[in-house]
């Protein structure tokens, strides 16, 4: 009798642990503000997976609260987090292909940015796979412009300015314009501007709006230089550990998130730029001189990127141009 009791409780224990193993919870670090459309889109994606996967719950952690932007990719590669979102061009120093979306004036509209991403898709996915990452989806930022606290009519007006960079392309522009680059995550941008660590930067209306940069800066030049992307990826070992239903849910919810994020980005672009103006900033198109100075930087940087990205880079640009 005693024997039977022990056996029964052992069976009960096994049943409990088996059902617990089926349910899994993944933390998803994200670098940008909770109210930003990328983060809201990521939360929708997480909800979709939680509903459709049959046991996998994804919980987003926006604003760099779990891992700061600079640490998210490594955290997912090493399995400290199983899924995460990162501005992929910030890793162009590791693989130039990750910088394909940030070459000035190669793709400057949503339409062209989609084409370029399509042309780059397989190669980006392969590069991520080599780093133990499975690509899920990507969403563009609105076109990039210049923020400053004085009138900027040419590259010469930028010389000596302390410039916040977010990837190698923005750091290179700082160098070409004789600015002083400092690498800062968007989550720390307001503080960097308030303390004078940075006094100008390139980004979308979205990040200027999120970080209320009108409190320190006065001008936004709508240069429309490129549209960088946030990419969501999963740790490959964690992916391999999922059943087909959960993998399918991530793929389907990811495809939906890519489409939803793109249309949000398009829809909000004007809203953000208007918001900058409504809060007192001077919003203007770049002067002809500034435009031609930046175009010249763009030509130099396109050449440099093609040199560093080699045949794979050339193949992407050729495919894009043929579209
Ligand atoms: N916002 C992000 C990247 C590009 C953008 O528009 C940032 O400034 O960090």
Give the pLDDT band of residue 160 (cuts 50, 70, 90): very high
Do β-strands 56-61 and 24-29 pair in parallel, antiparallel, or remain unpaired?
Answer: parallel
- Within 8 A by CB and 6+ apart from 251, the residues are 136
pLDDT at position 22: 54
pLDDT at position 21: 38
Residue 226 CB less than 6 A away from ligand 1: no
In angstroms, rounded to a whole number, what is the distance separating the alpha carbons of residues 218 and 323?
Answer: 39
Q: Output the CA 180–ligand 1 centroid distance in Å.
A: 19
Q: Does the pLDDT of residue 154 top 60, yes or no?
A: yes
Strands (E) located in 228-313: 229-235, 282-284
Pocket test residue of 33, 228, 266, 273 for ligand 1, highest count of atoms within 8 A of CB: 228
Residue 207 CB less than 6 A away from ligand 1: yes
Q: How far is CA 213 from CA 121, 125, 130, 172, 220, in A?
A: 34, 35, 38, 23, 10
Q: Kindly report, residue by residue over 252-266, the tens digit of the pLDDT.
A: 999 999 999 999 999
Residue 186 CB less than 6 A away from ligand 1: yes
Q: Kindly report, residue by residue over 52-88, the tens digit of the pLDDT.
A: 999 999 999 999 999 999 999 999 999 999 999 999 9
Compute the mean pLDDT over every residue in the chain, rounded to the nearest whole number.
94
Q: Which pTM does this prediction carry?
A: 0.93
Residue 99 CB less than 6 A away from ligand 1: no
Q: Which domains does the chain have, with CATH numbers?
A: 145-225+274-313 (3.40.190.170)
Residue 87 CB less than 6 A away from ligand 1: yes
pLDDT at position 76: 98
Which atom of ligand 1 is found nearest the CA of 31? 9
Give the pLDDT band of residue 245 (cuts 50, 70, 90): very high
pLDDT at position 15: 42
Name which of 40, 83, 29 is nearest 210 in CA terms: 40
pLDDT at position 7: 46
Mean pLDDT of 270-289: 98
Pocket test residue of 91, 145, 204 for ligand 1, highest count of atoms within 8 A of CB: 204
Q: Output the CA 141–ligand 1 centroid distance in Å.
A: 7
């Amino acid at each position: 009798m005693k024997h039977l009791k022990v056996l029964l409780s052992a069976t009960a224990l096994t049943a409990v642990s088996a059902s617990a193993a089926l349910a899994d919870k993944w933390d998803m670090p994200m670098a940008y503000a909770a109210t930003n459309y990328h983060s809201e889109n990521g939360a929708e994606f997480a909800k979709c997976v939680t509903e459709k996967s049959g046991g996998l719950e994804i919980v987003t952690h926006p604003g760099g609260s779990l891992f700061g932007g600079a640490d998210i990719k490594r955290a997912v590669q090493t399995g400290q987090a199983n899924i995460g979102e990162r501005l992929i061009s910030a890793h162009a120093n590791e693989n130039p292909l990750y910088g394909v979306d940030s070459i000035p004036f190669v793709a400057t509209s949503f339409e062209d940015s989609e084409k370029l991403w399509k042309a780059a898709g397989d190669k980006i996915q392969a590069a991520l796979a080599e780093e133990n990452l499975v690509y899920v989806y990507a969403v563009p930022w609105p076109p990039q412009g210049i923020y400053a606290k004085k009138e900027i009519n040419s590259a010469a007006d930028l010389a000596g300015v302390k410039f916040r960079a977010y990837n190698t392309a923005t750091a290179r522009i700082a160098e070409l314009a004789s600015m002083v680059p400092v690498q800062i995550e968007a989550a720390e941008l307001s503080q960097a501007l308030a303390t004078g660590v940075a006094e100008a930067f390139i980004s979308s209306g979205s990040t200027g709006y999120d970080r209320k940069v009108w409190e320190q800066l006065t001008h936004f030049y709508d240069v429309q230089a490129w549209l960088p992307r946030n990419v969501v990826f999963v740790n490959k070992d964690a992916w391999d550990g999922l059943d087909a239903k959960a993998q399918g849910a991530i793929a389907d919810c990811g495809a939906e998130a890519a489409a939803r994020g793109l249309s949000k980005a398009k829809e909000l672009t004007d809203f953000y730029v208007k918001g900058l103006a409504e809060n007192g900033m001077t919003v203007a198109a770049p002067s002809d001189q500034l435009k031609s100075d930046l175009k010249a930087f763009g030509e130099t940087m396109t050449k440099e990127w093609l040199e560093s990205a080699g045949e794979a880079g050339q193949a992407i640009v050729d495919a894009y141009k043929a579209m």
